[in-house]
Amino acid sequence: MDTPKKPVPIVNPWARPFWDAAREERLVTQRCKDCDKFIFYPRIACPHCFSDNLEWVEVSGKGTIYSFTVVENNAPSAFIKEMPYVVAIIKLEEGVQMLSNVVECDLDELHCDMPVEITFEKLTDEFTLPKFRPV
């Protein structure tokens, strides 16, 4: 049986700048120009003050692991060759949280509050995935 291809993200128009920046190996999030709060995941209005006065800003790509799980077993899928792999919530220095993968790590040493930094994995010519690795 052939392993299926990894799925690619479905991109809403308001999220396109995030994926364009990732392709250039830059991490960006939205920031509200009215309340000055960072926003992630991409939205059409600020979840804090409901303003639509949003801008895209490059962020540090540094943060900590808020929570994680190690996937060690999976039904046949496009990710079976990746196992075991880490799915984590990363709290960026800017305060927002991102769901991503932690790579280039010793699974036995992973822990919450571990410092991480951005790295990128090219999936296709159109999509590059932001992932994180321990600092």
* 52-64 residue pLDDT tens: 999 999 999 999 9
Question: Which amino acid is located at 14 in the chain?
Answer: W
* 16-25 residue pLDDT tens: 999 999 999 9
Residues 6+ apart with CB under 8 A from 123: 6, 8, 129
Q: What is the mean pLDDT of residues 33-58?
A: 98
Q: 3-state DSSP call for residue 107?
A: helix
